[in-house]
């Protein structure tokens, strides 16, 4: 099997599986909210997970909260900030290439009376900075952007955006979707200088069902989930030490192995770009995209057709974001970038992890050649 769909999900690493197994086989099953010995042991272990995660991504443990996924983190950050900070302004600025968890949240806020401005992106998927600058004013409460786009790998010019924001309105806050950048790009939240950020476990070889939310210590937001007041009131519900352990193990490994993984992905990406271009494929990902993602259109094959042809060879890719794939629509990300609809309709996404190899990339090219020979009369 060749798995090139790591932006959708990654397989749990053996280190994560071992950490979870050890946790399940231990006496750490107590409710972290219980006052007896087992509860104290569990809450101390949970607190240690927060400390280790904070050390890995450059913040304090008081600024981190475990969630169920990146989507919950995004919803909590955006809606929670706007709910708590009603005097900050009625305007939010974003782009149409954001993940659905951001776009759907903004749609709901717009129906509640907030003004949502979508800054256009260029052919490389980067926001038009002049339009951004013109759009920020005293009424702008929040900017919502994605660090690495999950469909094209386009990398956000975050430093330039922060400079523009500070010149126009220092009180405007920034939420950053870091789901696809964690473990791929350097993540040090103190240097990144954003106010809120979201992360997802199953994108970094952890388990599905766990994510993380970062809220800078001076930022106040309303919780999305109410109840017993766990996690300092930010996310009620009994804490899962198993999921916290899985995320912690994964984030530590992702950060420690980031440079090696980046080099590996870069070599695979460069090889595939070169070989696919020779075969008249169209590369949609910009040249400076994060190398873990390669969006490509195959002449003569619609996206879903190529996906299923590759599946015959036990090769797994995706068409659009897994969160939108069942809709069978052309990628809204590619359309927003101004890519021709026919090309967008023929596009698939290849996405890599630290476990992929150059041998797999060569087998992929061999399979593409055979697919063209078998299923397309004219090349």
Instruction: Return the active site residues.
Output: 323
3-class secondary-structure state, position 178 = coil
3-state helix, strand, coil in the chain (%, to 5): 45, 15, 40
Neighbour tally for 107: CB within 10 Å: 12
Tokens found for residue 20:
């979870």
Q: What stretch of H or E contains 130?
A: helix 129-135
275 φ, ψ (degrees, to nearest 5): -70, -40
Q: Side-chain half-sphere of 189: how many Cα atoms within 13 Å?
A: 28
Q: Fill in the DSSP letter of residue 35.
A: S
Task: Identify whether the C-beta of residue 250 lies closer than 8 Å to the C-beta of residue 140.
Answer: no
> E strands within 88-232?
91-94, 115-118, 140-146, 173-177, 196-200, 211-215
Contact residues for 89 (Cβ-Cβ < 8 A; gap 6+): 138, 139, 140, 141, 142, 172
> What are the angstrom distances between the C-alpha of 283 and each of 6, 62, 83, 279, 320?
18, 42, 41, 11, 15
């Amino acid at each position: 099997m060749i798995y090139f769909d790591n932006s959708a999900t990654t397989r749990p690493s053996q280190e994560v599986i071992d950490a979870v197994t050890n946790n399940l086989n231990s006496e750490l099953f107590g409710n972290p909210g219980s006052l007896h010995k087992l509860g104290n042991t569990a809450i101390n272990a949970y607190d240690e997970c927060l400390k280790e995660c904070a050390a890995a991504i450059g913040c304090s443990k008081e600024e981190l909260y475990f969630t169920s996924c990146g989507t919950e983190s995004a919803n909590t950050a955006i809606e929670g900030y706007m709910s708590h900070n009603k005097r900050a302004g009625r305007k939010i600025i974003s782009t149409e290439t954001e993940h659905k968890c951001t776009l759907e949240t903004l749609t709901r806020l717009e129906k509640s009376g907030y003004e949502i401005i979508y800054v256009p992106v260029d052919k490389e998927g980067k926001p038009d900075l002049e339009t951004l600058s013109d759009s920020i004013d005293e009424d702008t409460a929040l900017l919502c952007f994605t660090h690495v786009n999950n469909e094209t790998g386009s990398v956000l010019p975050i430093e330039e955006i922060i400079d523009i924001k500070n010149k126009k309105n220092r009180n405007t806050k920034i939420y950053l979707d870091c789901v696809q950048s964690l473990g791929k790009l350097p993540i040090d939240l103190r240097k990144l200088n954003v106010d809120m950020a979201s992360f997802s476990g199953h994108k970094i070889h952890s388990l599905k069902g766990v994510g993380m939310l970062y809220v800078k210590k001076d930022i106040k937001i309303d919780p999305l989930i109410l109840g017993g007041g766990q996690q300092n009131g930010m996310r009620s519900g009994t804490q899962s030490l198993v999921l916290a352990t899985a995320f912690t193990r994964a984030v530590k490994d992702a950060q420690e192995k980031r440079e090696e993984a980046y080099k590996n992905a870069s070599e695979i990406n460069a090889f595939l770009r070169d070989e696919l271009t020779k075969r008249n494929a169209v590369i949609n990902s910009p040249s400076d995209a994060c190398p873990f993602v390669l969006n490509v259109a195959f002449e003569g094959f619609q996206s879903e057709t190529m996906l299923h042809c590759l599946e015959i060879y036990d090769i797994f890719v995706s068409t659009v974001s897994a969160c939108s794939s069942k809709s069978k629509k052309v990628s809204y990300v590619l359309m927003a970038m101004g890519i021709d609809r026919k090309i967008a309709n023929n596009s698939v996404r290849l996405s890599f992890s630290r476990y992929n190899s150059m041998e797999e990339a060569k087998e992929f090219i061999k399979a593409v050649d055979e697919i063209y020979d078998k299923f397309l009369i004219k090349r």
